[in-house]
Amino acid sequence: MTTFTSGDLLSLPVRLHGISLGRPVDLILDLEALRLLGLEVRCGDEAHRFLPLAAARIGEEEIAIGSSLLLLDELPFYRERGRSLAALRGGRVLAAGRAAGTLRDVVLTDVGAIERLVVGGPGGERTIAATNVEGIDERRAPAA
């Protein structure tokens, strides 16, 4: 089974038959199911759209889709049902009843399962199994 990080995904263009349609800018996660729901894609017209993972084929050089109609305008709908990785990054991760560090990244399988979380703390970065995670707090913006 192949695994990849968010950085791996965010570096790939979204293409239809080799034609670039946009680039992913964020991951939308389902934390209860420990899965990637899909990607927020900035398209060539600068609009941000949702690409369901089930409609994409992730390769080494591209995220391939079979139709441009799979880039959905309903991004707010999916953002409400999932959690943005950008909003979670830097948030406190709870595992085994205590703070495990702050979220830096996620490691995903090729079918979209969240396998591990990369957390940072005073001792540096480490990975923890996603099944051991009890919660992730969204990072809070500093008070003005």
Is residue 24 predicted with pLDDT exceeding 50? yes
Is the pLDDT reported for residue 20 higher than 80?
yes
DSSP 46-63: S-EEEEEGGGEEE-SS-E
Q: Any idea which architecture 87-136 has in CATH?
A: Roll (2.30)
Alpha-carbon span 116 to 18, nearest angstrom? 31
Q: Tens digits of per-residue pLDDT, 38-56?
A: 999 999 999 999 999 999 9
d(CA 1, CA 71): 26
Residue 1: its pLDDT value, please?
72
Q: Which homologous superfamily is 3-86 in?
A: Photosynthetic Reaction Center, subunit H, domain 2 (3.90.50.10)
- Model confidence over 66-113: pLDDT tens digits? 999 999 999 999 999 999 999 999 999 999 889 999 999 999 998 999
The answer on pLDDT for 141 being more than 60 is: no
* CA–CA distance, 12 with 59 (Å, rounded to integer): 9
Which residue reads 């591990």 in tokens? 116
Q: Do residues 25 and 19 make contact, with C-beta atoms less than 8 angstroms apart? A: no
Q: Where are the domains of the chain?
A: 3-86, 87-136
